[in-house]
Amino acid sequence: MQTMTMLRRATFALLLAGCSNAGESLTFPALPEGGIAVSFFLDRDATGSYTTNDTTMAGVRVALLAANGVDTIQTMLSNATGVAIFGPVPIGRYRVVVDRAALGDTIGVVVGDTGTISILARQDSNTATRLVRLGFEEVTVAQALALPAGRRVIVRGSVVSPMQAFRDSTMFLLDATGALRITSARHWPGRIGNNLGDSVAVLGTTGVSLGRAVLLAGKVSSLGVGSAPAPQLVTVAEVRTARGGTLDAALVQVTNAKVVDTAKVALDLRVTFSEAADDADRAVALFDQLLQAPAAIFTAGRTITVRGVLVPRGDGTWWVKPRNGST
């Protein structure tokens, strides 16, 4: 279109050269123009859409290119309200590209800077908008466990133990790659807890607690309802060592265990148990005070089923923390 317009103008100029008034200056009407506004928001709660938990993003570098071009026409930074404005630009078809390298390592999700933007020579179509969603880096449980401390990431999975089950608000998460302990978990505004099996996205910082990799200070978004995960069947010895650490934070179950003794540990109830046929092999269940577990039911010699999540004690051993007061 642009080439054809230039040819027409050149032809018109040649015709004018033969006219008696060819020396006079002529003014062509301005080509129609429009504008493009690109808005950016940080999807902090990982819901995929803008919510009151999210924030606009200033300082994002974005380039404007022709729809089929590779050369940058304009480059802008989003302003304090998270908007980058291109204009005036000639009527035509364009695309925008976010400078991902300039975003840094924390931002791992960019959605919305694809496709064609059309500016038409009509009053109702000479401007266009584009909303771009930015998000923190998303990783699997296994990837989160392998990252160095201090990385801000989002992990998705199913709730194995809800944040309200324990006094310290620790939550446990499971995905296809493993189990994860999330310390000081709290929900984004709108809810105060979550349920077993909930599909969630958790924003937190990678770190270490009690000698094991965790996600620190997780902020939780509940995205859907699911079935409660089933526990892994283990032996007493595997509880104590978390099967060499490979079952850290996992939901496990010991059947046909025998109560050895009970004791108070601060506000919590400790129940030592063994295999029914072997008192020498022992492990510990720690009932959080919030569960109000009745100590009287755990009489020595009683056979019980112990179900809960494995938590390190900081000395190379683990105990199992049940999620309710009767295991």
> Tell me: the pLDDT tens digits for 121-179?
887 788 999 999 999 999 999 999 999 999 999 999 999 999 999 999 999 999 999 99
Report the distance separating Cα 223 and Cα 111, nearest Å.
19
- Does position 5 have pLDDT exceeding 90, yes or no? no
For domain 32-136, the CATH architecture is: Sandwich (2.60)
Burial track 26-35 (b if 16+ CB lie within 10 A, e otherwise): eeeeeeeebe
Q: Considering only CA atoms, which of 297, 296, 273, 274 is closest in space to residue 286?
A: 273
- Residue 32 pLDDT: 79
Give residue-wise pLDDT tens across range 193-221: 999 999 999 999 999 999 999 999 999 99
140-224 matches 32-136 in CATH topology: no
Given CATH 3.40.50.460, say whether it is the number of domain 232-321: no
The answer to pTM > 0.85 is: no
Architecture of domain 140-224: Beta Barrel (2.40)
DSSP-derived letter for residue 172 is E
Any idea where the domains of the chain sit in the sequence?
32-136, 140-224, 232-321
